[in-house]
């Protein structure tokens, strides 16, 4: 039986490596579609929680996967879900999807160890007929170049012995308008046969697949999506700083401009970029471009502007405190929102960390409040903040700094608290020239 026949008959065993914001939703959709699924992760804590039917991602309900759990995995059983840290089980999988982080190292260069280590784990038990798909955002040439070389060290050849493809993730945590099934899925294969197998797999869980001519086109499409956002956010961030000097409200300008029914799409400024995509992915292409003796000036300029925003916000905080007869040094500041976007518990690459660090370097006593993040867990970049707990909002602070637009903050009567507020997300619509300031 061919791989496509096994997929269409729901007999193919699907393995997903990486059970985070991308991998776990995929696991759930494949279970719903009737596949036997195994989730692999190197984090024992995650695997233990999932094995107990508990979700560690706030917007993913435990009930969405718990009914499928069957840790005594039986071959050919539809809807069975097993989660494990034992990667030897990859040998039993027909289709393997890699959804692991692709961060930057301390030199702002691609850190590919998670992708390549996962690929080596796959290679240990690679067999004929398997389909291997990478979903992690990366530079063009990763799949058909670096990954293929690792897999072909086994003696098996991509395109003839096994199938190889790339299909970029398009997750937007807690977006209630779009889901894995409703977001079109770009798919690129190493060969036509590879594309056919990958398309058949994703056709089972999404409403529309978008086949492209190669893995490199698929990899580049994902980078374009995020670079497009990065550049346009940099544009409004720069305009925000200019309009502030001119006494013009950039948010009012954007609201007016977006009434044009064509030729304009609204982007909004903020205290810096957050999440695992926009602050990181553009630099994957910038790094790869050097191999071709090409400088991506537009991307680099956008990066400079966006990464400078925490400095701008910290300066605005200093001005507001000075206006109230206080210095930054010794002031108690409460940062409202640790998550990188509203109404989620995801704080990967959050600009709030940068703001806390900068204000502490200036001598401030800084706390944070976030209704979705009661305590900061260990992170790669900001391990020093692990264990800090969310602080209650009260009048005991010298300044509030709104960094995330959580809905909970929109109903707070800040005027009654009597504390100056620096708002980076345009939450406050009341006018109070003495207490409320936009940044």
CA distance 109 to 381: 14
- With H, G, I as helix, E, B as strand and everything else as coil, classify residue 6: helix
337: left (phi over 0), alpha (psi -120 to 50) or beta: left
277 flagged as catalytic: yes
Q: What total of structural domains would you count in the chain?
A: 2
Q: Which of 162, 183, 212 is the last residue of a domain?
A: 212
CA distance 222 to 142: 13
14 and 161 housed in the same domain = yes
- In this prediction, residue 262 carries a pLDDT of 96
381 and 238 housed in the same domain = yes
Q: Which two tokens stand for residue 299?
A: 């991307």
Kindly list the distances between the CA atom of residue 133 and the CA atoms of 19, 102, 148, 166, 218, in Å, as whole numbers in the listed order: 15, 15, 11, 5, 12
Q: Which two tokens stand for residue 214?
A: 């190669």
- In this prediction, residue 308 carries a pLDDT of 94
- Structural domain contains residue 222: no
- In this prediction, residue 250 carries a pLDDT of 97
Q: What is the pLDDT of residues 298-355, one digit of tens each?
A: 999 999 999 999 999 999 999 999 999 999 999 999 999 999 999 999 898 899 999 9
357 and 434 housed in the same domain = yes
96 and 177 housed in the same domain = yes
- The CATH number that applies at residue 322 is 3.40.50.720
- In this prediction, residue 429 carries a pLDDT of 86
Nearest to 18 by CA among 159, 183, 123, 133: 133
Q: Which of 31, 95, 204, 277 is catalytic?
A: 277
Q: Which of 184, 212, 240 is the last residue of a domain?
A: 212
Name residues whose C-beta falls within 8 Å of residue 315's C-beta, 6 or more positions apart in sequence.
Answer: none
- In this prediction, residue 431 carries a pLDDT of 83
- In this prediction, residue 78 carries a pLDDT of 64
- In this prediction, residue 322 carries a pLDDT of 97
- What are the 10-residue block averages of pLDDT along the chain, 439 residues in total? 94 96 95 95 94 89 89 57 95 97 88 97 97 98 98 98 97 85 97 98 98 98 96 97 96 97 96 81 92 94 94 97 96 97 90 96 98 90 90 98 97 95 94 89
Q: What is the pTM of this model?
A: 0.92
337 and 270 housed in the same domain = yes
Nearest to 351 by CA among 253, 435, 425, 407: 425
- In this prediction, residue 382 carries a pLDDT of 82
258 and 168 housed in the same domain = no
Which residue stretches of 148-276 are H helix? Answer: 148-152, 192-203, 215-246, 250-257
239 and 165 housed in the same domain = no
Could you tell me if 101 and 114 are in contact, meaning their C-beta atoms sit under 8 angstroms apart?
A: yes
- In this prediction, residue 72 carries a pLDDT of 53
Q: Which domain holds residue 399?
A: 228-438
143 DSSP assignment:
I
134 and 264 housed in the same domain = no
CA distance 367 to 224: 36
- In this prediction, residue 73 carries a pLDDT of 47
């Amino acid at each position: 039986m061919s791989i496509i026949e096994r997929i269409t008959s729901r007999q193919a065993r699907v393995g997903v490596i990486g059970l985070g914001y991308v991998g776990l939703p995929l696991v759930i959709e494949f279970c719903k579609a009737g596949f036997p699924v195994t989730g692999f992760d190197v984090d024992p804590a995650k695997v233990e929680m999932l094995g107990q039917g508990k979700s560690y991602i706030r917007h993913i309900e435990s009930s969405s996967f718990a009914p499928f759990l069957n840790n005594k995995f039986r071959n050919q059983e539809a809807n069975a879900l097993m989660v494990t840290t034992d990667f030897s089980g990859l040998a039993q999988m027909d289709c393997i999807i890699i959804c692991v982080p692709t961060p930057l190292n301390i030199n702002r260069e691609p850190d590919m160890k998670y992708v390549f280590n996962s690929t080596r784990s796959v290679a240990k038990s690679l067999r004929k007929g398997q389909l291997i798909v990478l979903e992690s955002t990366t530079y063009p040439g990763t799949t058909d170049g670096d990954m293929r070389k690792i897999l072909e060290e086994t003696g098996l050849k991509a395109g003839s012995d096994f199938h190889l493809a790339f299909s970029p993730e398009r997750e937007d945590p807690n977006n209630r308008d779009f889901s894995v099934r409703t977001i079109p899925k770009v798919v690129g294969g190493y060969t036509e046969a590879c594309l056919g197998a990958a398309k058949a797999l994703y056709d089972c869980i999404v409403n529309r697949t978008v086949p492209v001519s190669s893995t490199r086109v698929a990899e580049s499409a994902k980078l374009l999506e995020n670079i497009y956002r990065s550049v346009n956010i940099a544009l409004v961030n720069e305009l925000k700083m200019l309009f502030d000097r001119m006494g013009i409200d950039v948010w009012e300008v954007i609201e007016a401009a977006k009434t044009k029914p064509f030729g304009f799409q609204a982007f909004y400024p903020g205290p810096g970029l957050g999440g695992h995509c926009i602050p990181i992915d553009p630099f994957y292409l910038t790094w790869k471009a050097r191999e071709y003796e090409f400088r991506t000036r537009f991307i680099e300029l956008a990066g400079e502007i966006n990464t400078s925003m925490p400095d701008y916000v910290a300066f605005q905080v200093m001005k507001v405190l000075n206006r109230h007869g206080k210095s930054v040094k010794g002031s108690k500041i409460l940062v409202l929102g640790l998550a990188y976007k509203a109404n989620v518990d995801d704080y990967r690459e959050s600009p709030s960390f940068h703001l806390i660090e900068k204000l502490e370097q200036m001598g401030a006593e800084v706390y944070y409040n976030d209704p979705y993040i009661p305590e900061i867990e260990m992170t790669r970049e900001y391990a020093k903040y692990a264990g800090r707990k969310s602080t209650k909002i009260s009048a005991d602070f010298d300044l509030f700094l709104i960094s995330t637009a959580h809905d909970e903050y929109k109903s707070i009567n800040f005027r009654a608290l009597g504390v100056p507020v620096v708002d980076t997300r345009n939450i406050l619509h009341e006018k109070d020239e003495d207490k409320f300031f936009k940044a």
